[in-house]
Amino acid sequence: MIKVGLTGNFGMGKSTVAEIFRSLGAYVISTDKIVEELLNEASVINEIKRLFGQDVVSGGKLNKKYIAQIVFDNPLMRIYLENILHPKVFEKIDEIIKKIPERGEPKIVVIEAPVIFERGYQNRFDVIITVWTPDEIAIQRLQKKGISKQEAIKRLRAQFPIEMKKSKSDYIIDNSGSVEKTKAQVEEIFQKLTALEHRYAGN
C-alpha cells in the first residue's frame, strides 16, 4: 500500500484531483470530511468551546463561520484549533486504512490534506503531490463560488506559498488549464504510483 498526501492551497483544486484519482481506482480519504464529522461530536464541541468561548456554539452546534473568522485573523488560535483536531483526524485515517482489504485493489490511498507542510506532516506519507494554480486563478475560481476576493486572499496568505510546496513535492499537478489537461497529468502519475506499488509488493 502507498499512502499519498495530496495537498495544495485554497481554491487550487485538490478535491477535483482527488475525484479523478478515485475514478482511476485509488482509495481517497478527505480530511475535510473527517473534520466535518468531528465537529459534530459532543466531546470535540466541548473542547472547542473551552478554547473559543460560549459564542462558538449556537443551538448545540458549532458556528463554523464564526470560528473561520477567528482563525484566519489569528494564526495562534488556528494552531490551537488544529492541535485539537489533527490528532483525531490521523486516528480516523488510521482506522479507515486498517479497514481496507489486504487483498485486491485499491493499494494506492490518496489522503487529501491542506496543511501537510504547514504542520510538518510530510513523514506520514510515502509520496506527496501538490495541486497548484497561480493565486490569481484560485481567487477567480473562489469568487465564482461566492467567496469574496478579500476572504480568498486572507486564506491563501494563511498557508505556505505554493512555490515552496511544489519544491518539496514528489509530483506536481498544474490545475490552471482544462479538466482534460488535469486528468492527463493525474493518469500519468497514477500509472507511476501503480508501478511503484507493484515494486513494493514484490519486495
Listed in sequence order, the residues at least 6 apart from 113 whose beta carbon sits closer than 8 Å to its beta carbon are 5, 6, 7, 31, 121
13 has binding-site annotation? yes
Listed in sequence order, the residues at least 6 apart from 36 whose beta carbon sits closer than 8 Å to its beta carbon are none
178 has binding-site annotation? no
182 has binding-site annotation? no
| CA R_g for the chain | 18
Give 144: exposed, middle or buried? Use CB within 10 Å, 0-12, 13-18, 19+: exposed
Per DSSP, the residues of 126-173 read: SEEEEEE--HHHHHHHHHHTT--HHHHHHHHHTS--HHHHHHT-SEEE
16 has binding-site annotation? yes
Binding residues for ATP: 11-16
Binding residues: 11-16
